[in-house]
Copies of this chain bind each other. A is one copy, B any other.
Amino acid sequence: QEAVSAAMEVAELVLVSGGLGPTPDDLTKEAVSSLLGLELRLDKKVLRKLEELFKSRGYTGSPNNFSQAEVPEGATVLPNNRGTAPGLLLEEGSSLVVLLPGVPQELRGIFQEDLQLLLNQRFKGRAEPVHHRMIHTTGIPESRLSELVSQHLTGDMGPVTLAFLPDLRGVDLRLSARCTSAKEAKERLAKLEETLEPITAKWRFEASGGDIAEALNRTLFEGGYTVAVAESCTGGLVSQRITDHPGSSDVFLGGVIAYQDEVKFSQLGVSRLAVAKHGEVSEVVACQMAIGVADRLGASTGIAITGVAGPGGGTSEKPVGTVWVAVSIKETVEARLLRLVGDRHAIRERAAQYALALLYRRLIDVRSKA
């Protein structure tokens, strides 16, 4: 209550997230209503939606649940299509107070579906909107990318700024322009993107959600390819990334997770001799896995990963982080040795990302040569 009333004194818009759940420790609605002197009333529309939701899940709600249909008088209800707690918008004096659920995907959904539009209308022309353009890259470290960019960009950038957003999978370059005119912003962003093109081309990919797997799926589909995946240390992560995206069934046939050597022999046709001679983490085994899985599942491309994700299992010759990645396109296969740093999670993420990016780039190469 103290925080909300302090915020209302200085701000025209107060956003509160979390505490709208069905349990007694969820108190946001009650606290804000009592602060603003508003009664809670049962909203029949919200109640009906809750009842339908519970019915579809096959259980009847409890009294706790139906407390979520109570709404402060005068509030505008922002429907939640991903959960049970709707967003609530309250006007009080010159302040707008918005209560949103804390679950990130529910909050994002309400913002994108309703709130964004309402706020745009209300604060129209008063804020200088920031326009963005994202350039997704993978395979180049943040520091190296930044060095290349700063060598290339000279002089005053005006209202345009650049941010480097790194994670385990790559670096996103966020271009921002703060202009009142959307047209001017778009032009400036397009110009900067063009200037950056020669530097970023080698590492860049296009994907609305920023996932290279999305770009790979699209490229496979456009080329009429299918893909099968053989994984050892990544344990299903590559397949999971590919199938995260709707429509992956157009290109993804399936995969084999060959965690133990016996599974590599029986399900992928890896040769016992190769493992005995070179070890399971080796170029020849990675290549046999990629070819084996594509062959057995009938796919035109294959991805394989075998490595040491740690924390145990490393040797002086093949320490934790040693990973072989192979990709096959029809009869050709190539492998790469990676020496990755980080904990088990980071090594698995980086290996999966590398493998997805390698097949993506090879397909782009094939296409540009055709």
Contacts and interface: CB of A to CB of B under 8 A. Distances in A.
Interface stretch (A7-15, A54-62, A192-200, A327-335): A54-62
A17 to B, nearest CB: 15
A22 interface: yes
B143 A82 contact: no
A296 B246 CA distance: 30
A22 B235 contact: no
Kindly name the residue among A147, A257, A311 whose own CB sees the greatest number of chain B CB atoms within 10 A: A257
A119 interface: no
A262 interface: yes
A146 interface: yes
A23 interface: yes
Contacts of A249: 259-260, 313
Contacts of A313: 249
A161 B23 CA distance: 13
Q: Is the interface of A mostly helix, strand, loop or mixed?
A: mixed
A143 B61 contact: yes
A95 interface: no
A222 B214 CA distance: 40
Nearest to A231: B236
Contacts of A143: 22-23, 61-62, 64-65
Given A82-B346, A267-B267, 16 more contacts: A21-B164, A25-B162, A63-B147, A64-B146, A82-B342, A229-B257, A231-B236, A235-B248, A237-B240, A246-B311, A248-B259, A252-B259, A253-B260, A253-B262, A254-B257, A255-B257
A251 to B, nearest CB: 10
B144 A62 contact: yes
Given A62-B147, A296-B267, A56 B339 contact: yes
Contacts of A296: 266-267
A242 interface: yes
B235 A243 contact: yes
A190 interface: no
B343 A163 contact: no
B25 A164 contact: yes
A274 to B, nearest CB: 18
Interface of A: 21-25, 53, 56-59, 61-65, 82, 103, 105, 141-144, 146-147, 150, 161-164, 166-167, 229, 231, 233-240, 242-244, 246-249, 252-260, 262-263, 266-267, 296-298, 310-313, 339, 341-346
Nearest to A257: B255
A240 B59 CA distance: 31
Contact of A267 (B24, B256, B259): B256
A57 to B, nearest CB: 6
B142 A23 contact: yes
A147 B59 CA distance: 14
Contact of A239 (B235, B244, B343): B235
Contact of A22 (B146, B238, B266, B342): B146
Given A56-B339, A246-B312, A263 B254 contact: yes
6 contacts: A23-B146, A53-B341, A62-B143, A63-B147, A105-B346, A257-B257
